[in-house]
Amino acid sequence: MLKIKIVLGIVVFLNLNHAKSAAEERLAEEHRLPRVVTPLPAPKITDLPQFQGEHKESLYWGTYRPQVYLGVRARTPKSLIAGLMWIVVKDSKYHLRHVCKHEDGLSTYGWTKHNGRDFGHQLLVDQGIIFTTAFLKSKEEGSGYGGDWTVRITVQAHKSKWNEEFGRGAQLFFYMADEGANALNLSRENMNILEDSSLVSGSRADIGNWQLHLKSMDDLELHYSGFRTPHFHNLSDLVEENLSSQIRKNARPLLSDSSDDSPNVLVFQVIGGFSFTTDIIFISGTDSESSRVEERVSSLSGTSLSNQLKYKEQAFDEKFDKIFNLEEKVDSESISVGKAAVGNLLGGIGYFYGQSKIAASRIVNLREHVNYISYWPAELYTAVPCRPSFPRGFLWDEGFHQLIIWRWDIHISLDIIGHWLDLMNADGWIPREQILGDEALSRVPEEYVPQHPTDANPPTLFLALSDMINGLKNNEFTAMDKTDISVFLERAFVRLEAWFQWFHTTQSGKQMSSYYWHGRDNSTIYELNPKTLSSGFDDYPRASHPTADERHVDLRCWILLAAHCLHSIEELLDKDTKPGMNYGSTSQLLSDVELLNQMHFDDAYGAYFDFGNHTEKVQLKWKDVEIGHNHTDRQLVRDVLERPVLRLVPHIGYVSLFPFMGKIIPSGSWILEKQLELISNHSLFWTDYGLRSLARTSSLYMKFNSDSEGPYWRGQIWININYRILSALHHYSKENGPYQDRAKAIYKELRSNLIRNIVRNYQETGFLWEQYDQNSGEGKGSHPFTGWTSLVVLIMAEEYGRV
């Protein structure tokens, strides 16, 4: 395997009576860095020519702030940022909306269409007020770097939900802020857009001079307020404080029509009746001789904008139909849900910049304080699982996201994967949760912020890469795209090898070809079963007493996937096998069913299990716990009633099906028949809404893991794993063997159940959900969850590739 050596030698300083060069200073600083926060010494993938030039400029501006209901920024660390807020009245109180929150109680919101590049259409319904937001980019002669963009906001009141609290109309707030601290210039204090559409202007090194305009055919009232602040994650607070002071004066929530000196934030309040439409246009490069500002503003507003948006919507529909080809596979209601799934996944792509906090010590008890050191400043371009709950990058989620995104836009997908792999440190480790910048940091509980460099996360990017390689073999790409993918894989290979080597060495078990997830707390007194956060399955039952003797069957299968993918890349690029790094042999070893069965198969259950130091006789019990000196507190703590022994861990659930998902089991094997029996057993996996994550027969089925942690992967239905199980069923339904027809029948019924339930929930609630209740099918958890739940579109399309 690839061994990356960093020479950390002693630097001898010679007193030559002159200052060191800047290069020497940097080198010395690098040698002082702890290895865990030292980048992998390899060329960055995102520096490839295919990610520069026109590609980079075309993606410069975007809706890259998924944590807010509408936010625009550039893919640069200190960007201009723009965003939308609005006021609703509920129970005679004003409520300001800005950051996506479950507690806001919107009936629905999300990008119903978005192409990931230059167009998006979003619907939001809040207390009977219907908002639509459209985003469009344009690159015209005379525009600055990245071009121009416009946002159209339309407001209507739902007639059936009209009430007096709505007042005379809607109140919107649109803001511009400069993270680079450049001052913004208010165009004028008299906010009369009939006389002049210009609101604010400024200047930046990246795009030159710029202007923001507002155009509308409706009668609007405008107010403004300017702020000077170093913080941008709490803009809502600034607006609320300003409005509160004005309510006391005017009895109306109006901005103060005043500004701090040299403001770097300007907020514009737009008040209109029901209904109204306003176009907010951003024009860059206004200092050039050929800027044609009025012409470009006109092109991005009014009738011209309406026509362009209509064209972009049609183009989205046509591309969706061409890629997923759902017309003959599902009904029109399902197609609409599929479009919304893809639209909000692409519209949720974000850009983040900052430094991860890396735990400096191995403390797994989240209740204890952890000292940390900072990763190097890094950028991340990524999709996100959920805009209100998880509006940031998650490593194991991202591989599932890319199964959809590469089919939609291979270049966006490669760019995202490249950004993730560029986050790799000198050991080959990637932090699993990317909390970059103040906006991201403000949304995460403190105990979950530090990332532990001993902890892994499922390497799902190999899922997407394997899928792409399969697409190459099936000639699904143009000649130019094939070249770009090959060049990408050539550059990425050293990082993929380092990643594999990190897994292979740091997560290996005591027995050859065994692996276990590190990071479980073996001293907890509060958890019924110590969590395995690194596996992605959080509270899924593992051995009751974590030790180095554990063997985790899911991790073994992830390592197999990685080895197989690396071997495929070697074959594709015609690479020679290096000594000690034979991925083909590793893949064969981990595919050895006999060896797998010896380590993980239980003949009595006909199921694959983890192995470890385990007892079933563990419970949570209220006890008096000594806290400090001479003080006790009654707490719910772990009570072990039996000495654990090394054994297979008898919990049937998603982890049990990983060898099946990996298509390791021969199509003629009786073990395959057993897996099909387990899947279709109503007491174990099967429900009318999808396959549950843990069998009802498990002693931990739907059990709380502590006094505050409800069940998460202990019964609920998750779409990413159902998708992988469907993929395996589809595979075995095509393989000649005695169980082919049984696999086909289960596949058809499971696919139908999943689609029907997800579509029904969307129609009833307006959302895709993080998980679904195994008893009622009701959507549960975070929403809109258009991360891996968006895989429903691939289920509809029956697109499984190599997954």
The residues that are catalytic are 538, 770
The beta-carbon contacts of 466-471 under 8 Å, at least 24 apart in sequence, are 466/561, 466/564, 466/565, 466/568, 466/801, 466/802, 466/803, 467/403, 467/406, 467/801, 467/802, 467/803, 468/406, 468/410, 468/413, 469/565, 469/568, 469/569, 469/572, 469/802, 470/801, 470/802, 471/406, 471/801
Q: Which of helix, strand or coil describes residue 600?
A: helix
CA distance 718 to 712: 10
> Measured between alpha carbons, how far is residue 202 from residues 18, 82, 287, 531, 747 in Å?
43, 13, 11, 50, 58
CA distance 689 to 150: 41
Element (H, E) at 611: strand 611-614
Q: Which residues contact 579 (CB under 8 A, 6 or more apart)?
A: none
Count Cβ atoms below 10 Å from residue 348 Cβ, excluding itself.
29
Count Cβ atoms below 10 Å from residue 760 Cβ, excluding itself.
16
- The torsion angles phi and psi of 42, rounded to 5 degrees, stand at -145, 155
Q: Which of helix, strand or coil describes residue 747?
A: helix
Reference 561, options 493, 472, 467, 697; nearest CA is 467
Are β-strands 686-687 and 690-691 bridged in parallel, bridged antiparallel, or unpaired?
A: antiparallel
Element (H, E) at 669: none
Residue 721 identity:
I
Residue 159 carries which DSSP code? G
> Measured between alpha carbons, how far is residue 68 from residues 73, 133, 151, 601 in Å?
12, 13, 15, 47
CB-based burial label for 453 (10 Å; 0-12, 13-18, 19+) = buried
**Cis peptide bond upstream of 49, omega within 30:** no
Residue 620 identity:
L
Cα dihedral 545/549/552/553 (nearest 10): -130
CA distance 680 to 691: 9
Q: Could you tell me if 334 and 796 are in contact, meaning their C-beta atoms sit under 8 angstroms apart?
A: yes
Count Cβ atoms below 10 Å from residue 311 Cβ, excluding itself.
11
Residue 456 identity:
A
Reference 408, options 799, 803, 719, 123; nearest CA is 799
Are β-strands 221-227 and 258-259 bridged in parallel, bridged antiparallel, or unpaired?
A: parallel
Q: Which residues of 61-75 are buried (b: 16+ CB within 10 A; e: fewer)?
A: bbbbbbbbbbbbbbb
Residue 657 carries which DSSP code? G
CA distance 696 to 588: 35
| 85 bridge partner residues | 173
CA distance 428 to 419: 14
Reference 659, options 711, 731, 714; nearest CA is 731
Task: Look at the chain and count its residues.
Answer: 803
Task: Report CA Rg, the chain.
Answer: 28
Reference 792, options 759, 746, 744, 745; nearest CA is 759
